[in-house]
Amino acid sequence: MSDRVRLPLLAPEEFQSSLASDGHRRFVYAAEVHGRFHGLRRIVFALLVAIWIAVPLIPLNGHPLVLLDVQRRSFYFFGATFNSQDAWLAFFAITAVGWTLALSTSLLGRAFCGYACPQTVFLDGVFRPIERLVEGSREKRMRRDKGPWTWEKIGRKLLKHVLFAGAAFVIAHITLSFFVPLPQTLRMVVHSPAEHPEAFAWAAAVTLVTYGNFAFFREQLCLVICPYGRLQASLVDDDSLVTDADSVVESWMHIEIDRETDPADLHQIETTIQGVLGDVREAVEDWPRMLRQAATVADELAAQPPATVPAGEVDEAVDLLRWLIDDHFTFLGYREYVLDQ
């Protein structure tokens, strides 16, 4: 037996976007998720990073698999050599990539974004794992960020950013080795910048941009810069594999009953099941209102802490309420009590 429950659509003020309606940013604290598709993503990330590292390293016909030697106007792709007169061929390559992206989006939605975009691969595959390793789970990071600056917090932040800078340095230099052969890049790294100021400026700029993007800018790149991100809404239709705010979210209940024939028993069973489904429906419909109410109570407590309760306990209650609101608890009902002593 099944009954569909349509989750209430969130009102605009309840929809949690990383951009608030007044334009300011809400920082995204990504939770660690597990599951089949997440496992698959990790494998794809590892494969893509391995290919990306290998491509400028593996030689074929005397050149790396891919080398864009802009200075000499020579471009090497998997054993073939092109020069500046062949630039028109890029039109076909770029068009093919564009059509492939459009087709994959119309069929599979944001599969490229989730599995293969360098922004996702490096953010979710490299930088967020570093962040989790150094600063702990999402809840710990949120609590620490809201809390005062302590030596422990400073130490963790410092370590995280040093590791981020190291990762950005490596990523930037491997990226540059698509333009300058890797042995030459490595030679430049160990020599004085004064010997190759132009290359040093490029390496420093790419490292800085990579660090800034993955340490701070993150999903804002998708929201405000990436043209593909802006086009996606026009590339999908009802048959595309996407979840959106208008999807019907289903939750299955498995109910086993004995074979009954007595009309009174059947009526009793039906009444009980209808009662359970009614409770579920009411809880689901009331859930955004209960979340809102809990948030209001937390805000009121933080703004006007009761004079008779120690400040530490009030803070703890506010933290607990905010943690519960943050998808850690299923609100089934709401009741108000008056504390009169």
Binding segment (CB under 6 A) for ligand SF4, from list 77-85, 117-125, 184-192, 292-300: 117-125
DSSP string of 314-340, one letter each residue: HHHHHHHHHHIIIIIS-----------
For residues 49 and 125, the answer to whether their CB atoms sit within 8 Å is: yes
Q: In the complex, what is the shortest distance from the CB of residue 210 to ligand SF4, in angstroms, rounded to a whole number?
A: 14
Residues 113 and 219: their CA atoms lie apart, in Å, by 11
CA atoms within 13 A on the CB side of 226: 18
Tell me the number of residues near ligand SF4 by CB under 6 A: 9
Binding segment (CB under 6 A) for ligand SF4, from list 68-76, 79-87, 220-228, 249-257: 220-228
Q: How many CB atoms lie within 10 A of CB 8?
A: 13
Q: In the complex, what is the shortest distance from the CB of residue 243 to ligand SF4, in angstroms, rounded to a whole number?
A: 15
52: contact with ligand SF4 by CB under 6 A: no
Q: In the complex, what is the shortest distance from the CB of residue 117 to ligand SF4, in angstroms, rounded to a whole number?
A: 3
113: contact with ligand SF4 by CB under 6 A: yes
Of 223, 234, 221, the residue nearest 105 (C-alpha): 234
Contacting residue, 45, 64, 105, 119, with ligand SF4 by CB under 6 A: 119
- Burial 90-112, CB ≥16 within 10 A → b, else e: eeeeeeeeeeeeeeebbeebbeb
Which residue lies nearer to ligand SF4 by CB, 217 or 287? 217
324: contact with ligand SF4 by CB under 6 A: no
- Could you give the C-alpha distances from 81 to 67, 93, 160, 240, 255, in angstroms and in order? 10, 15, 42, 39, 66
30: contact with ligand SF4 by CB under 6 A: no
Counting Cβ atoms within 10 Å, is residue 304 exposed (0-12), middle (13-18) or buried (19+)?
A: exposed
120: contact with ligand SF4 by CB under 6 A: yes
Which residue lies nearer to ligand SF4 by CB, 208 or 226? 226
123: contact with ligand SF4 by CB under 6 A: no
Q: Which residue has the tokens 């994959």?
A: 104
- Radius of gyration for the chain, computed over Cα atoms and rounded to the nearest angstrom: 27
Q: In the complex, what is the shortest distance from the CB of residue 227 to ligand SF4, in angstroms, rounded to a whole number?
A: 8
Contacting residue, 222, 291, 321, 325, with ligand SF4 by CB under 6 A: 222
224-243: contacts with ligand SF4 (CB under 6 A): 226, 228-229
Which residue lies nearer to ligand SF4 by CB, 120 or 207? 120
* Identity of the residue numbered 267: H
- Burial 280-298, CB ≥16 within 10 A → b, else e: eeeebebebebbeebeebb
Q: In the complex, what is the shortest distance from the CB of residue 236 to ligand SF4, in angstroms, rounded to a whole number?
A: 13
Of 150, 239, 181, 146, the residue nearest 58 (C-alpha): 181
- Could you give the C-alpha distances from 246 to 8, 238, 242, in angstroms and in order? 9, 11, 10
Which residue lies nearer to ligand SF4 by CB, 76 or 211? 211
For residues 45 and 124, the answer to whether their CB atoms sit within 8 Å is: yes
Q: In the complex, what is the shortest distance from the CB of residue 111 to ligand SF4, in angstroms, rounded to a whole number?
A: 10
Which residue lies nearer to ligand SF4 by CB, 110 or 322? 110
Q: In the complex, what is the shortest distance from the CB of residue 276 to ligand SF4, in angstroms, rounded to a whole number?
A: 41
Q: In the complex, what is the shortest distance from the CB of residue 110 to ligand SF4, in angstroms, rounded to a whole number?
A: 7
221: contact with ligand SF4 by CB under 6 A: yes
167: contact with ligand SF4 by CB under 6 A: no
Q: Crossing angle of helices 151-176/197-212, nearest 10°?
A: 130
Residues at the interface with ligand SF4 (CB under 6 A): 113, 117, 119-120, 221-222, 226, 228-229
